[in-house]
Amino acid sequence: MQVKEYKPLIVAFCCNWCSYAGADLAGNNRLNYPADVKIIRVPCSCRVNPMFILRAFQRGADGVILCGCHPGDCHYTSGNYYTRRRMALLFSMLDYLGIERERTRVEWVSAAEGAKFAATMNDFAEKVAALGENKRLEDLRCKK
């Protein structure tokens, strides 16, 4: 049997105004980060329903990261404050369920912080990879 090299699967939700632009800037500056990170664009970090994160874990994601504007800089004035509180709750629940804290993260990345985006993704991917596959929440019925 051939052993496949383990590659973590990471879903990143990025708000359209700051973090998605930050990710674009990382691209413009050719700053590398692992291809395991796949970005989903949302209008605001507060658009991310905890369901999306649960779904990602259910479908076999190994880590989920949420990026938004810095506190006080939200395009919609207060969205990221809601995000911060919601995710604090969700992540503590996930922790209780056995999803390690390192698999979830909220990070503030502005449109000017391409380098921070790449560094964050490198760091996050490394931590998630160190934890190995996420089997806790994965729904085996979804497995091919």
Partner 1 sequence: MQRIGVFVCWCGSNIAGTVDVEAVSEALKREPGVVFSTNYQYMCSQAGQDIIKDAIKEHRLTGIVVCSCSPRMHEATFRKTAAAAGLNPYMVEIANIREQCSWVHKEMPIGTEKAIILGKAAVAKVNLNTPLTPGESPVTKRALVIGGGIAGIQTALDIADAGFEVDIVEKKPTIGGKMAQLDKTFPTLDCAACILTPKMVDVAQHEKIRIFSYSEVSEVKGFVGNFDVTIKKNARYVKEDLCTGCGLCTEKCPMKKCANEFNLGMDTRRAIYIPFAQAVPKVATIDPDNCNMLKNGKCGVCAKVCTAGAIDYTQKDEYIEEKYGAIVVATGFNPISMDKFDEFAYNQSKDVITSLEFERLTNAAGPTAGKLLRPSDGKHPETIVFVQCVGSRCDACAEKGKEYCSKICCMYTAKHAMLTRDKYPDTDVYVFYIDVRTPGKNFDEFYRRAVEEYGVHYIKGMVGKVSPEGDKLIVQASDLLADKQLKIEADLVVLAAAIEPDKSARSLATMLTASMDTNDFFTEAHPKLRPVESPTAGVFLSGACQGPKDIPETVSQAGAAAAKVIGLLAKDKLVGNPCVAHSNEMMCNGCSSCERVCPYGAITYEAKEFRMPDRTTLVRRIAVVNPAVCQGCGCCTVVCPSGAMDLKGFANEQIMAEVDAICK
Nearer to partner 1, 59 or 127 (CB): 59
Q: Which of 18, 26, 94, 128 binds partner 1 (CB under 8 A)?
A: 26
- Restricted to residues 34-73, the positions that interact with partner 1 (CB under 8 A) are 35, 38-44, 46-52, 55-56, 59-61
φ, ψ for residue 61 (rounded to 5)? -70, 145
Angstrom CA distances, 44 to 4, 17, 68, stand at 37, 7, 7
Residue in 85, 133, 135 with CA at minimum distance from that of residue 66? 85
Site for partner 1 in 75-134 (CB under 8 A): 75-79, 82, 86, 118
The two three-digit tokens of residue 93, written as one number = 């629940």
Give the footprint of partner 1 on this chain (CB under 8 A).
9, 11, 16, 20-21, 23-24, 26-28, 30-33, 35, 38-44, 46-52, 55-56, 59-61, 75-79, 82, 86, 118, 144
